Structure 1
Amino acid sequence: MADHDTAPDATGQRMNTREAAERLGVKPETVYAYVSRGQLTSHREPGGRGSTFDAKEVEALARRNGRRELFGGDGELAVRTGITLTDRDHCYFRGVDTEELAAHYSYEEVAEWLWTGELRRGTHFTAPYDALSAARRAVQALPAHCGPMDRLQVAVIASAAADPLRFDLSEGAVLATARSLIPTLVGALPTKSSSQQNADALAPRLWCRLASEPADTAALRVLDAALVLLIDHDLAASTLAVRVAASARAHPYAIVSAGFGALDGALHGAASGLAHRMLLEVLERGSATAVVADHLRAGRRVPGLGHRLYPGEDPRARALFGLLADVPTAQPALQAARRVITTTARHTELHANVDLALAVLTVAAGMPPEAGETIFAIARTAGWIAHALEEYGERPLRMRPSGHYQGPRPPQPLP
């Protein structure tokens, strides 16, 4: 099958001004500015109306422009965005400190504000019956050994199949999809406790699918804050996958599927599970030193420590540790985490990241090790939608870098 990453008009020999402008993602007058600067060659047929341009020349310019807008001066991938800024020991959504957002608003309120710029107090997301029924049937058909990410990936595909209008990429349609998809993903997960599953807010509904014991107000506050803090975090691997899919104008369900695919890895979403198991071992053995020593002896990184974007403590961890201090049942796990941090600091200066804070929550609540990844995935879905909306406003297929071929030079003999 052909690699259809070129605009249809670029396959012809000549393009008119409108077609050239659309391919370059600029206004028609900018096309003539390219001509005046010698970057394009125009041609006017005798008696013809308007100029035409060589399609291959337009395509080459589009690719050069695409590379310039996607790569910074140091050669690193750099995508313009107005969603998240990480600055030393702080993280900001649209210029607002995420710790402040988590302290004052719920996950659904922040998600709605991030998408629309409007803060609506008391916002709650509701799953439509058809999508939720389809997602639950698909999840229930999975083998018993399947984990939460398996269920979420199947649920999003089933939800897409139940939505015949999923290809509508208008802003209103995408937002409607987001508001229904997130609660559908939560509702498709099997329940561990009957308490709070019919609550209006998302955090209580998610809690009863992760823990068998009901949550008190302080514990639910931690979960809701975690959802807010994990909505987005610059161009993480899963977010870049989402931007690529959106650049190709994939629908929102496919975009979330792309995010889940990248998230489902030990170096991304699953990292909190490693920290969860480590804390359980510290509590069982009664010694952080012995557990940390085992990791160092085996040449493994100590889970839940260090983050390439922060020279100090991850601000998301800082916020969650502060809230966990008010949860009585979290104190043993919280102390275990503190001992891990102190012990590791004797050898190298590493600070806690959000995976360690998530692990404290999941261990304290008796959740399975995969619960942190589930929280991460549900939370990040809102951020992926925000990035998709942003990317839909960019030139289509701009996320198409050129390969640096290092194979045998042609022509080679037929194998």
Structure 2
Amino acid sequence: MPDQGPGSSHPERRLSTKEAAELLGVKPETVYAYVSRGQLSSRRAPGGRGSTFDTTEVKALSRRNKRESARTSPTGGGDLSVRTRITLIEPDRYYFRGVDAAELAARHSYEEIADWLWTEHLHPGITFTAPHSTVEIARRAVDALPEHTDPTDRLRVAAIAAATADPLRFDLSQQAVLGAARTLIPTLVGALPRMPYAPKDDGPLAHRLWGRLTPREPDEASLAVLDTALGLLVDHDLAASTLAVRVAASARAHAYAAVSAGLGVLEGPLHGAASGLAHRLIEQVLDQGDAAPVIADELRAGRRIPGLGHRLYPGEDPRARALFARLAELPQAESALAAARDIVDTTARHTPLHANIDLALAVLTVSCGMPATAGETVFAIARTAGWIAHALEEYTERPLRMRPEGQYVGPRPPQPLPE
């Protein structure tokens, strides 16, 4: 049946998944990703096979995508196309400086990956340390916060406090920024409250971070999984927080301020908090023994299922795939892994969404006795290394280039003075 013309009282026919994908110029998997993000609505097809989509809604999304593509293209009005040598994302994997990031995280420590990302030279066995005086300044600042303060707030205060202890923070030369970075990351970890049991503040960063995340005594396998998670999360191209870092660096803010800008964006519920929501979802599935009623309750309440789907990956998030593989080596993760699989399988009955890194992080935090906020802490500490890499890259670019042109849509002047 052809689409109805303007003025017709008959609604346009609904599109199949294939037709919607062709109109949008994407793969069918991406259409379902649009649904998961609330950009499209779907309805079961007659007979229960597949989904159908509103034609007007799909056309509107297609127009928005085309406008966005034109606005962000290198020939568009603003300087929003950012050339970078740090991270490349493909449909089923991602790379740091051309090297498979999952393989890198499997073979090297977080600190080795971070330092290599900054310098393009690998220093086996490198660990980051901070002066005791700097850590104490940051710790005192964090300890003054209310007890209910969330991890991102603590880290942001620690970063600002660390900046006040560094008289060279305004030196934006590569060596000065590298020195600040190697001090800042262990300061962020050291400023966080210690659990009742915590290893000494020495050794790899993952060992020191463990004692800030869980009261459980660590074993080597668990520490290795945490270190892998940190390595996998070092960078992910121009995520919202990373873009904020580059804007700050473009204005020549020092490294501590640039990282603080990233932490400010990370605190938003659409960026940093998703792993906590997935953590609570897994706990509910474990309590009930079945994902079906938990998923039903979430959907009935109008909430999206956390830990599923990613706009850049039509299939499983490669970071999740790599972390799940390491978690499978932990006996204590068996039940949380099974719950995560149940969540994916239950949701896939109607919408073919795959696990993302937030669900994998949630398995880690649940199985290691960490609070729901621990995934956000891991994410923030890990991503600080990527933010530093982007700041270093931006410092070599033209200052203040991150200045898109606003499209004014307000009332045309002259307007009368307000009464």
**Fold match by TM threshold 0.5:** yes
Which residue of the other structure, out of 314, 317, 322, is the alignment partner of 2:320?
A: 317
RMSD: 1.5
Partner of 1:398: 401
Deviation at 1:197, TM superposition (A): 3.1
Which residue of the other structure, out of 214, 222, 226, is the alignment partner of 2:217?
A: 214
Which residue of the other structure, out of 226, 229, 244, is the alignment partner of 2:232?
A: 229
- CA–CA distance in 2 between the matches of 1:140 and 1:233? 31
State whether residues 86 and 92 of structure 1, in contact with CA within 8 Å, keep that contact through their aligned partners in structure 2.
yes
Partner of 1:167: 170
Assess, with a 3 A threshold, how the Cα gap between structure 1 residues 332 and 285 changes in structure 2: closer, same or farther.
same
Q: Does 1:387 align with 2:386?
A: no
Partner of 1:194: 197
- CA–CA distance in 2 between the matches of 1:80 and 1:301? 33
Partner of 2:282: 279
Deviation at 1:193, TM superposition (A): 3.8
1:251-290 aligned within 5 A: 251-290=254-293
Partner of 1:71: 73
- CA–CA distance in 2 between the matches of 1:405 and 1:200? 54
State whether residues 199 and 205 of structure 1, in contact with CA within 8 Å, keep that contact through their aligned partners in structure 2.
yes
Q: Which runs of 5 or more structure 1 residues have no equivalent in the other structure?
A: 1-67
State whether residues 141 and 161 of structure 2, in contact with CA within 8 Å, keep that contact through their aligned partners in structure 1.
yes
State whether residues 193 and 209 of structure 1, in contact with CA within 8 Å, keep that contact through their aligned partners in structure 2.
no
**Larger Rg: 1 or 2?**
1
Query: What do residues 216-261 of structure 1 show as CA deviations (whole Å, max 9, x unaligned)?
Result: 1111111101100100001000000001000000000000000000
Query: What do residues 344-374 of structure 1 show as CA deviations (whole Å, max 9, x unaligned)?
Result: 1101010000000000000011111000000
State whether residues 197 and 216 of structure 2, in contact with CA within 8 Å, keep that contact through their aligned partners in structure 1.
no
Partner of 2:252: 249
Q: Does 1:350 align with 2:353?
A: yes
Q: Does 1:120 align with 2:123?
A: yes
- CA–CA distance in 2 between the matches of 1:300 and 1:366? 26
Q: SS at the partner of 1:208?
A: helix
Partner of 2:335: 332
- CA–CA distance in 2 between the matches of 1:352 and 1:103? 19
1:136-175 aligned within 5 A: 136-175=139-178
Assess, with a 3 A threshold, how the Cα gap between structure 1 residues 70 and 123 changes in structure 2: closer, same or farther.
farther
Q: What percentage of residue pairs aligned between the two structures are identical? A: 68
One-letter amino acid matched to 1:185: L
Assess, with a 3 A threshold, how the Cα gap between structure 1 residues 254 and 296 changes in structure 2: closer, same or farther.
same
Q: SS at the partner of 2:175?
A: helix
Deviation at 1:130, TM superposition (A): 2.3
- CA–CA distance in 2 between the matches of 1:196 and 1:89? 37
| TM superposition score normalised by structure 1 | 0.82
Query: What do residues 369-392 of structure 1 show as CA deviations (whole Å, max 9, x unaligned)?
Result: 000000000000000000000001
Deviation at 1:299, TM superposition (A): 2.2
- CA–CA distance in 2 between the matches of 1:233 and 1:73? 24
Which residue of the other structure, out of 345, 369, 374, is the alignment partner of 1:371?
A: 374
Partner of 2:416: 413
Query: What do residues 113-171 of structure 1 show as CA deviations (whole Å, max 9, x unaligned)?
Result: 00001001000000112211110110111111112111111100111111121100000
One-letter amino acid matched to 2:355: A
Which residue of the other structure, out of 92, 101, 104, is the alignment partner of 2:95?
A: 92
Partner of 1:102: 105
Deviation at 1:73, TM superposition (A): 5.7
- CA–CA distance in 2 between the matches of 1:124 and 1:269? 26
